[in-house]
Amino acid sequence: MVNPIVTSIFYLGLAFSTILSKTWSGLMIYIIVCIILIILNIAHLKSTIKQVKPFFLFFPIMITVYLFISFVFTNFTWTVIINEAGFAMSKLLLLVIVMSLYLEISRKQNLVLSVRSIWVKMNLKWKKVEDLFMFLELTLRFYPTFQREWQTIIRSKKALGLASSVGRWERIKSVTNDLPGMILQSYRKAENTAAVMQQRGYGKQIPRGVANPILFKMSDLILLVIILAGYTLLNQNVTL
Residue type, 159: A
Q: What pLDDT shows up at residue 238?
A: 63
CA distance 123 to 207: 6
39-43, 98-102, 172-176, 205-209 — which is least confidently predicted?
172-176
Does pTM top 0.75 for this prediction? no
- Own/partner contacts of 87-93, CB < 8 Å, gap of 24 or more, are 87/24, 87/27, 89/59, 89/62, 89/63, 90/27, 90/31, 91/18, 91/19, 91/21, 91/27, 92/59, 92/62, 93/55, 93/59
pLDDT band at 24 (very low <50, low <70, confident <90, very high): confident
pLDDT digits (tens, 9 = 90+) for 132-183: 887 777 777 777 777 777 777 777 777 766 655 556 666 667 677 777 777 7
Does an H or E element contain 233, and which? helix 218-234
Q: Which of 46-50, 79-83, 138-142, 224-228 has the highest mean pLDDT?
A: 224-228
Residue 19 vs residues 36, 52, 82: alpha-carbon distances, Å = 19, 18, 19
Enumerate residues 6+ apart whose C-beta is below 8 A from 109: 4, 7
User: Within 13 Å, how many C-alpha atoms sit on residue 77's CB side?
Assistant: 2
CA distance 128 to 133: 9
Q: What pLDDT shows up at residue 167?
A: 62
Q: What pLDDT shows up at residue 21?
A: 82
Determine if residue 161 is left, alpha or beta; phi over 0 gives left, psi from -120 to 50 gives alpha, anything else beta: left
Largest CA-CA distance found in the chain, in angstroms, rounded: 70
| pLDDT average, residue stretch 188-215 | 78
Q: What pLDDT shows up at residue 70?
A: 78
